[in-house]
Amino acid sequence: MKRIKVFLASSEELKFDRIAFGNLVRRLDDIYEKRGIRVKLFEWEDFDAAYNCSPKQGEYNEHIKTSDMFLALFHTKAGKFTIEEFNLASNEFKQKASPKVYVYCKNLKQGDIQSQELINFKNELFNEKRHYWCRYDNSEELELHFVMQLMLVNNQNASMDSLNIDENGKITLDGRLIAHLDQMSFAMGNANYVEMSNRLQESIAALDTVRQQSEEHPDDKELRNDLFDTLNHHNQLKEEFTELQHALFATAKTIVIFQQSQVNAKLKCAIDAFNSGELKKANSILDDIARDAEHHIKQFEQNRNLIHQDIDALTLMTKTLMADSDINIDERITRVTNTYEDAVNWANQSNYDKEKHISLLMNYAEFLYQYSGQYDKALKICDEVLKLSTEIYGKPHEIYAKCHKLSGKINSKRNHLVEAHKDYKAALETAKKIYGKRHLETAKYIFNVGASLYDQGKYYRAQRLYLKAAKIFKREYQEGVRTRILLGTTYDNIGQIQAAKKKYQKALKYCNQAISTYGTDNQESTQIRIAHCYYNKGTYLNKLGARNEALTSFNEALRIRERTLGQNHSDTILSRRAVESLQQQNYNGGI
């Protein structure tokens, strides 16, 4: 079993941050153990010199040398031993590229005074050693940043896809809570985020008021119209806020990747501005860097390193621009497209790091697919990624699978179902070679191929693949939130296949399995899936002649959809009509 050893150095003044960090590592160890990895934390509280003949500091140093990650925390003081431990870890890294060294400085509050030793250390750290030290405001910020760095240490090419943010701003890893976006300075210091969050809370209160009035006066047409308008306003605001949350979180993840290497002073200022919530200042600095790049590109042979830093800055700029909700969405898309074009052109001309080049191209293709609808161009970029990957790896690699999967999504969006199926199948064949036939990642690709067959109406073949994927999902990570959703969706899809073949009893069986798999998850997105299952269940029961049970299921679907989607949503109306139809049938039938 692989082991990742973490050493934490800090002074006594950060005792509570160390305790919180220790609790986090224990949670991470539990998560990673299922992946065949143990995460072990060492800190000075773990050692007792009373039973050791050697000095305690010597014992610390031996553990530092054998660590994979070294973290030093500072607030107002820079203790002699903590600095010595940092220097030892830094020297070890220079000699053998391990441990990875991270410095975190807690933000000063009003009345806090930092020691001259700490001021000197910070100045030397960046000005002489070019080491970027990270700021944090609370333990959750520290913990989230560490989780991202841990994912990169474990897999240098990690995209951090398994670190998710839900509609309530909860950041989770494999379903385990890591942090809340509302505790992050880059969110709470962002005026747009705070203002939009307040507006959303006000819209919830307004919606509750109008709903209550509408329920008290169900025949009042004007109140129904008010409810419809209020709900539409709320849903639109919620969608904008969710987009902002994801944009800010995507930017934060991109910054963490850059912080693994040296950054210049301007990029450091841009990162600090973003982390403080000053998005406009960050964009202004990054725009200045972009202007600098026009000069650098003319002398790229002499300034190759500078150009590559500029490309990194442009990559970050694609994220920060999308996060700036003060800019019209169409203008954002245009500016981000132009920024990507500049970054790709400069990468092509400057012998840019090939793995970073691949990541840049994949991000651009994803952006084109998600926002601009330039599907032909996105597919062309995918072809470039496959070609570049072949040059680098020369054998099946996870980027092949991801690229073919993206091509499949694009072709599916264009309704080119046969081409989409070929892409998903190519992704699956690559996944089998990388992960094996029974791995969780392979199961996700099996699911995609099954979905493409389902879209083509090839139900028998689709069902075989869904069942194969479900078996792996259930065996591997049945406790993971994302895997539960995949498993529940798989069962639901199999049920629909059975219904298409008029085998309603079997359809009912899989529908119940889907509902059971989703469990008691109260997230709105999961509740919408559960409502969909209850609606399907009502349909199957009605086909089997169990009208009373069908009515119960339709009512449950209606109840959930009214709460999550609103009374005037098309799915809610569909559920209401199903309920009314069955009620009428029961009345006419004398039941």
User: 10 Å Cβ neighbour count for 112?
Assistant: 10
Residue ranges in the chain whose pLDDT is less than 50: 47-55, 156-157, 590-591
Composition of the chain by helix, strand, coil, percent to 5: 70, 5, 20
Do the beta carbons of residue 328 and residue 274 sit within 8 Å?
no
Select from 337, 350, 265 the least CA-distant residue to 305: 350
User: 10 Å Cβ neighbour count for 14?
Assistant: 21
Residues 340 and 435 in one domain: no
Residues 164 and 225 in one domain: no
Tell me which of 476, 491, 516 is where a domain ends. Answer: 476
Specify the number of domains making up the chain. 4
Q: Is the dihedral of CA 128, 129, 135, 138 positive or negative?
A: negative
Q: Give the span between the Cα atoms of 24 and 100, in whole angstroms.
A: 19
Do the beta carbons of residue 200 and residue 241 sit within 8 Å?
yes
Residues 315 and 236 in one domain: yes
Residues 34 and 158 in one domain: yes
For residue 534, the domain's CATH number is 1.25.40.10
Residues 140 and 55 in one domain: yes
Residue 65's identity, in one-letter code, is K
Tell me which of 176, 200, 231 is where a domain ends. Answer: 176
Instruction: Give this prediction's pTM.
Output: 0.74
DSSP structure class, residue 127: I
Residues 144 and 18 in one domain: yes
Query: What per-residue confidence (pLDDT) applies to 384?
Result: 95
Residues 20 and 145 in one domain: yes
Query: What per-residue confidence (pLDDT) applies to 31?
Result: 86
Residues 380 and 253 in one domain: no
Do the beta carbons of residue 29 and residue 38 sit within 8 Å?
yes
Residues 252 and 115 in one domain: no
C-alpha dihedral over 39, 45, 51, 57, to 10 degrees? 90
Residues 313 and 370 in one domain: no
Query: What per-residue confidence (pLDDT) applies to 538?
Result: 94
Query: What per-residue confidence (pLDDT) applies to 550?
Result: 93
Tell me which of 426, 449, 476 is where a domain ends. Answer: 476
For residue 126, give Cα distances in angstroms to 131, 185, 413.
5, 22, 47
Residues 167 and 263 in one domain: no
- Domain hosting 25: range is 2-176
Residues 130 and 271 in one domain: no
What's the alpha-carbon Rg for the chain, to the nearest Å? 27
Query: What per-residue confidence (pLDDT) applies to 474?
Result: 84
For residue 150, the domain's CATH number is 3.40.50.10140
